[in-house]
Structure 1
């Protein structure tokens, strides 16, 4: 008879062997195997000898009633062709390559910068106040603008009336604008590149 120690040792070895064999399958769960499905592409399509032909229907003729007498049509008489004399000098000039000289870049004329005027009514920190003033001026019939059009943080809004080429017309409008808005405007030159 074997001793108790040997019995326990054999039992422990059997339990460990069963655990080593069966526990990994138990803890792995169901394994999923991914296999890409490929559709087989035939190398050459099968050609059948049977070809279906479609029949084309016969054309249909419509009956047209023609007038009993021949019809005459009057066409404008052709203009006589103009004759152009071709000389040897004209042929040589046509065969020579066209020479184009680049035009020098010119600076804008000084008078163009002074051509327009605006009445600046004020400079505002609050763009909403400037826009309200512009709306009031537009309702009164003036061409009013706020600059800059796309304000950024820290920019000041300038409200101007114009531009106009006539300096006298705008200087006459300054009194009307002061009565309408309560702001004393001043006449300044308009620069289209930096309004």
Structure 2
């Protein structure tokens, strides 16, 4: 080949390589300066302080004297609270836990509901008692329990019977005095 032709081909090849390298840079848009976005933020309104008025001092009217005095009503006898049986009569295992079981009939935030179930259980002839727990939100949870008994199988059978009779889901739990 002619030396002039070789020089022209090499020159053309170099130009093609340069174009291949520079064209993506030119058309990518990276060479442009970003447009400045200017937003008009209004000034905060000026707030004036409202005058603070002192509260009026009013004289409280004194209550009228009532001559009629009612006779004190007879004291109402409260129903005794159901206490769980004493723990001293139950055996403990190696871990120190009492070997007795109870049936938990329900847990109530409303003590009146717990009392109703407790009375129903007692009327049916069951040894029922309540246990109260303080919850983290400050409210009281009242649990209605039946038992306790040392025989787990007997308590399990009692749970099934009570669940059917009172139509509530019952649980067998370890007795806690």
Query: Which one has a bigger Cα radius of gyration?
Result: 1
Give the TM-score, by structure 2 length: 0.43
Give TM-score, length-normalised by structure 1.
0.39
